Structure 1
Amino acid sequence: MDLTGAVWRKSSRSSANGGDCVEVADNLPGVVGVRDSKDATGPALTFAPSAWRAFVAQVAERA
């Protein structure tokens, strides 16, 4: 999956001093990318937008 042009954003709940954070890119058509913020050149997972929305909804439900 080519993620060239992805605009990555970190959660607003992430602290400024690092930690265990993920970044999400949801600006590409038909795909949502997720990566480790400490390894920006490393691998990324990709999800269909509907699968990502379902995941986020389940996480929010349990928070």
Structure 2
Amino acid sequence: MSSQEVVSPFVKSSFSGGGSANECVEVAHTADGGRAVRDSKNRDGGLQFYAPEGWAAFVDGVKGGAFGR
């Protein structure tokens, strides 16, 4: 099993709006505990893969307000 094998369905963020503001990403789990990310409007456009440590750092940054809002 490859560490980049997607092992769960892709899900869209619950913060994704509707209508014209529907620009979002979808995230799925990978075999190594990381995440695969794709554009919800272009699902065939490719995937980005993040190792478990990188994804955890990103989530911690979001929760800590590092990216504003």
TM-score (norm 2): 0.72
Q: Where does residue 55 of structure 1 map in the other structure?
A: 58
Q: Is 1:8 the counterpart of 2:22 in the alignment?
A: no
Q: CA deviation at 1:6?
A: 4.1
Residues 16 and 24, structure 2, Cα contact 8 Å, conserved in 1: yes
Q: Deviations over 1:16-45 (max 9, x none)?
A: 33522011002x321310111001111110
Normalised by the length of structure 1, the TM-score is 0.78
Provide the rounded CA distance (Å) in 2 between the counterparts of 1:49 and 1:29. 10
Structure 2 unpaired stretches of 5+: none
Q: Number of residue pairs matched?
A: 61
Q: CA RMSD in A?
A: 1.8
Q: Secondary structure at the match of 2:64?
A: helix
Point out where structure 1 has 5 or more consecutive residues left out of the alignment.
Answer: none
CA distance in 2 between counterparts of 1:11 and 1:57 reads 16
Residues 1:39 and 1:6: Cα distance change in structure 2 (over 3 Å): farther
